[in-house]
């Protein structure tokens, strides 16, 4: 099966800069079939540093100041739908059984990252977490591209515990990214998310 592009960060360009202990959620249409939800949060720090998230020129760039801790959530659905005056993601209806891997490509990262991927189908969900794979996301200040490969079998293997979960009908892909550095002050950029 051909690769399925989830996001290449060339559309729905945006920039958000947040002060301490604030968060913001934005819904954006990536294409007519796909929508992106970005939730970005910055915690308190003693130096009042800011954090920013920006989508432009094929990059999703996250930057946080010294002693600033942030969290990024990306969520994908099938399009933006107007419901009761609120924007909401529609189900993707993706068949994960047709793909081997979910690939998250990084342009670089100045510190280790904790990446959690959760997929939802109907009322069921299953998750995959990368709490220790520092070689994938750590670039130690250089710009070497890295790829995080998440086997779709990691999700499918967990189906026995989720009776309503259906790998052939994925509704939502939820990706959470947090900095693992103890003093903050980091930057990273994602170039692409795709199913292969």
> Which DSSP string do the residues of 65-117 spell out, in sequence order?
-BT--EEEEEEEESSEEEETTEEEEPP--B-GGG-SEEEEEEEEESS-EEEEE
Rounded to an integer, the average pLDDT of 164-186 is 76
Query: CA–CA separation, 111 vs 136, rounded Å?
Result: 11
pLDDT of residue 129: 47
Domains in the chain, ordered, with CATH? Answer: 4-195 (2.60.120)
pLDDT tens digits for 87-125? 566 788 888 889 999 999 999 888 778 888 888 776 555
Between CA 185 and CA 64 the distance in angstroms is 5
d(C-alpha 91, C-alpha 79), whole Å: 8
- How many whole angstroms separate alpha carbon 182 and alpha carbon 49? 15
Residue 20, both tokens: 């301490």
Higher per-residue pLDDT: 139 or 193: 193
pTM, two decimals, is: 0.81
- pLDDT above 60 for 43: yes
Quick check: 162 pLDDT over 60?
Answer: no
The CA angle 89-177-93, to the nearest 5 degrees, is 30
Q: Above 50 in pLDDT, residue 135? A: no
């Amino acid at each position: 099966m051909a690769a399925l592009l989830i996001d290449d960060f060339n559309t729905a360009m945006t920039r958000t800069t947040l002060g301490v202990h604030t968060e913001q959620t934005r819904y954006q249409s990536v294409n007519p079939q796909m929508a992106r939800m970005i939730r970005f949060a910055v915690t308190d720090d003693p130096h009042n540093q800011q954090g920013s998230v920006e989508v432009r020129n094929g990059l999703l760039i996250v930057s946080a100041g010294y002693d600033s801790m942030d969290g990024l959530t990306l969520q994908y659905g099938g399009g933006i739908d107007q419901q009761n005056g609120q924007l909401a993601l529609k189900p993707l209806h993706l068949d994960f059984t047709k793909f081997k891997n979910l690939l998250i490509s990084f342009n670089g990262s100045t510190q280790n990252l904790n990446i959690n991927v959760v997929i939802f189908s109907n009322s069921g969900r299953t998750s995959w977490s990368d709490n220790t794979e520092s070689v994938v996301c750590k670039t130690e200040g250089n710009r070497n591209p890295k790829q995080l490969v998440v086997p779709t079998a990691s999700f499918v293997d967990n189906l026995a515990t989720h009776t309503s979960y259906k790998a052939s009908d994925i509704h939502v892909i939820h990706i959470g990214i947090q900095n693992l550095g103890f003093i903050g002050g980091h930057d990273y950029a994602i170039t692409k998310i795709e199913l292969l």
